[in-house]
Amino acid sequence: MTTPHRLLLVNGPNLNLLGTREPEIYGSATLHDVEALAADAAAAHGFEVRAVQSNHEGVLLDAIHEARRDCAGIVINPGGLTHTSVVLRDALAGVALPVAEVHISDVKAREPFRHHSYVADVAVVHVSGEGVAGYAAAIDRLIAVITGQAEG
């Protein structure tokens, strides 16, 4: 089977609030801006993006499972689920697609409870603290892995 030129972009709980509160931490871009930026970054490499954001863990799991059918990789900002969710980690490990983990803020420079990620060791690309531009950086690096230009 040929590799699909499509990525799944997953934004977890509360990221629908981007651009409305806490701009000192998360900047002023909205979720819509992030999804447009991601689509542009992927298009530069001939890929498209299917974007999902949900405040419901099961919706995210279903989207991740579905990606097995027609996506080549997953870019995910799991939000607070990063620090709590074994089931999200199991879903990502279960679909066996390359994963890029993105955080807008520098999680290692924040509260200690944000320092551990259940997703980190199932991801091949990690971007944290680069603001929303980090989504584009993660997409560039993930596509390099998918196309064999970088090691996963």
Closest CB to ligand CA2 among residues 71, 107: 107
Shortest Cβ distance from residue 55 to ligand CA2 (Å)? Answer: 10
The catalytic position among 32, 56, 103, 126 is 103
**Closer residue to ligand CA2, CB minimum distance, 33 or 147:** 33
Q: What angle do CA 57, 116, 78 make, to 5 degrees?
A: 30
Q: Specify the residue, 18 or 75, whose C-beta has the smaller distance to ligand CA2.
A: 18
- Non-local (6+) Cβ contacts of 34 within 8 A are 11, 15, 18, 132, 135
Rounded to the nearest angstrom, the gap between the alpha carbon of residue 37 and the centroid of all alpha carbons in its chain is 13
Indicate the residue among 72 and 101 with the shorter CB distance to ligand CA2. 101
- Identify whether 103 is a catalytic site residue: yes
Q: Rounded to whole angstroms, what are the CA distances from 22 to 15, 25, 35, 98?
A: 11, 6, 19, 31
Write down the least CB distance from residue 51 to ligand CA2, Å: 15
Q: How far is the CB of 114 from ligand CA2 (least distance, A)?
A: 4
Cβ of residue 72: shortest distance to ligand CA2, in angstroms? 23
State both tokens at 93.
């490990």
Residues that bind ligand CA2 (CB under 6 A): 14-15, 17-18, 21-22, 26, 77, 79-80, 82, 103-105, 107, 114
Which is catalytic among the residues 26, 32, 118, 135? 26
Nearest to 54, CA basis, from 14, 6, 17, 84:
14
Q: Collapsing DSSP states into helix, strand and coil, what is residue 4?
A: coil
Residues acting as catalytic residues: 26, 103
